[in-house]
Amino acid sequence: MTTGLLYDPIYLAHETGPGHPECPERLSVSMRHLHAQPWYDQLVQVPPRVAEEQWLAEVHDREYIKHVRLTCRSGAAYLDSMDVSICSESYDVALQAAGGVMAMADAVMDGRIDNGFGMVRPPGHHAESSKALGFCLFNNIAILARYLQKQHGFKKILILDWDVHHGNGTQHTFEEDPTVLYISTHQYPYYPGTGAAHETGIGKGKGYTLNCPMPAGSDDSDYEKVFQDRIIPAIDNFQPEFVLISAGFDAHKSDPLAQINLSTEFYGWMSDVLLDKAALHANGHLLSVLEGGYNLKKIPECIGLHVSKLLATSH
């Protein structure tokens, strides 16, 4: 058993237009970097599949799913807002992203892999139940969490979102649900405007949302402190049965879209923490799904380090 890599050239077919930061090159340069690593051949390739509507509908309104399909296939340039650029293939690519992360879950349950990384696009964590936002069409990580619960019987899921932008869609999906602990580190105040520290969940879900808003300029030491003081104790208290990471790499100090100053090496540190917690509480069950990260020189390095940590742990 080992580490799975979910990737397919289909993910390059989601064309966002000239100059758009969420571009196909994010994946193509990252895949070239992974191919060059001496450990690449140890990865188990996980092919994607098309997500069935029943699983999309665990998170998204059926009318919204139809709206995404019709809008993409109409040839429109945008979906719901100017920051969600689409092309005629975008709906089909988004189905393969959401379906691909479920295929990783199946591979874990079949014993083919211990953990895995989903190199997918479009990203997902901004997608609301009935609205596309922030480059996202369908909320891949939220769909995966529901799939793990309803298809594979896991009761308690951790989602750790280290993207530099708050995962508004993921928070809203689970904010009334005590079976999913959503933890986010993100620049604040910043896009999309959600993720204040006082947002801790609603009703039965109160206490199962942990937002760690970070001021612009925060660095490795600031993030390490919030992990030690707040995040690690919350994970240990919750004792998740499965660990999911919304793995955005846009909190890197060289990323063009934000002002957080994490080093490449710190993504390895965070990876180690989550792998340790998965080993302690979740029988090693961990899946990581790509969100943001827009510096085409740094995202390959960050992904390469992250995947190497997954691989080192799975042996």
Q: How far apart are CA 248 and CA 187, in angstroms?
A: 12
**Vertex 258 angle, CA 161 and 308, to 5°:** 50
- Do residues 42 and 311 touch, judged by C-beta distance below 8 A? yes
- Do residues 304 and 34 touch, judged by C-beta distance below 8 A? yes
Please tell me what DSSP assigns to residue 262: B
Which amino acid is residue 147, in one-letter code?
Y
Q: Which residue among 126, 172, 186, 285 is the active-site one?
A: 126
Taking alpha carbons only, the member of 32, 37, 68, 46 closest to residue 1 is 46
Residue with the two structure tokens 């799913």: 65
Q: How is residue 76 written in tokens?
A: 């429109």
- Active site (annotated) includes residue 60: no
Which amino acid is residue 4, in one-letter code?
G
Q: How are beta strands 286-290 and 242-247 bridged, if at all?
A: parallel
Helix (H) or strand (E) run with residue 279 in it: helix 264-281
Q: How far apart are CA 80 and CA 137, in angstroms?
A: 10
Residue with the two structure tokens 């340790």: 276
Please tell me what DSSP assigns to residue 115: E
**H-assigned helices in 199-258:** 220-226, 232-238
**Vertex 294 angle, CA 108 and 301, to 5°:** 60
Which amino acid is residue 6, in one-letter code?
L
Maximum distance among all Cα pairs of the chain, rounded to whole angstroms: 49
**H-assigned helices in 123-248:** 140-150, 168-174, 220-226, 232-238
The set of catalytic residues is 126
